[in-house]
């Protein structure tokens, strides 16, 4: 399928937007991904 990437939760803003950061290992690439959550309210 696709590439598996481990991420860590960096921040949840008041609107429920999740800020994720890639967990960098020996063979992982650096980067960050922003995901907007529509399934869960903020703070959950």
What are the phi and psi torsion angles at 24 (to 5°)?
Answer: -90, 125
pLDDT of residue 33: 53
pLDDT of residue 1: 77
pLDDT of residue 20: 93
pLDDT of residue 39: 52
> What distances in angstroms separate CA 37 from CA 7, 10, 12, 19, 24, one per listed residue?
15, 14, 9, 10, 23
HEC string for 7-42: EEEEEECCCCEEEEEECCCCCCCCCEEEEECCCCCC
Q: Per-domain residue ranges for the chain?
A: 1-44
How many angstroms separate the first and last alpha carbons of the chain? 29
Q: Per-residue pLDDT tens for 1-44?
A: 788 889 999 999 999 999 999 998 755 444 545 555 445 555 55
């Amino acid at each position: 399928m696709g590439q598996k990437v481990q991420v860590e939760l960096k921040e949840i803003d008041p609107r429920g937007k999740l800020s994720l950061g890639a967990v960098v290992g020996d063979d992982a690439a650096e980067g960050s991904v922003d995901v907007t959550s529509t399934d869960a309210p903020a703070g959950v």
